[in-house]
Amino acid sequence: MMKSDISNYRKSYLKGFLSENEIFDNPLKLFNKWFDEISDTTLEIEINAMTLSTIDNDGFPRNRVVLLKYFSEEGFIFFTNYNSNKAKSILSNNKVSLSFFWEQMERQIIIKGRAFKTSDDVSENYFNSRPLGSKIGALVSAKQSSVIPSRSFLENKFEKIKKQFENSQISRPLNWGGFIVKPIEYEFWQGRENRLHDRIRYIKKGGKWITERLSP
């Protein structure tokens, strides 16, 4: 039986702190502040990468990394194939969770909320801004998450569609678009020494955000 002991994999968190004096009445302001601070680093990372958690029809949770494309008071927007497993899960149960982990600053943000399809205009505008290769990719993976025979199957299909649209525009497929996650709860986590991490939670009650500190 294969066994790996990684119990000694540990590090100290010393890069920051989160006090009540540093937070805002609105959690989006703190999210924006942290996002700007990680954006200012010179590290080549996808800072807009976030883990999306959904509940499958079999009752099991499923996580995957998607890319955040817009955020505002209304919510957090990402785009996907509406035939994908993630989209099917959301359309069946729209209670989801998003999480960002920025190891370079020893920070994590968890957002709980409900996901809804964006308007056609939002989906159209973003799709039209995508590089040509990404547009073709959306057509190639029209049946996302389905079983395919090989890698070459995808590549051949890509070249075929590329040639087909050589002299014409690619319109957004109707099975491709955005979801907006409307938050009801945020948790901001800042790693601290001796595992005494700072955890500040925002919960929406009666249209207002209530803050509370959680035990690490």
Catalytic residue IDs: 195
3-state SS class at 99: strand
Round to whole Å and give the CA distance between 71 and 58.
31
Burial class (CB in 10 A: 0-12, 13-18, 19+), 191: buried
Which of 27, 34, 35 minimizes the C-alpha distance to 68? 35
With beta carbons less than 8 A apart as the criterion, state whether 22 and 112 touch: no
Round to whole Å and give the CA distance between 213 and 196.
12
Round to whole Å and give the CA distance between 76 and 29.
14
Residues 6+ away with beta carbon under 8 Å from 55: 61, 62, 89, 93, 95
Which of 91, 169, 90, 167 minimizes the C-alpha distance to 124? 169
The two tokens of residue 203 are: 């919960």
With beta carbons less than 8 A apart as the criterion, state whether 54 and 162 touch: no
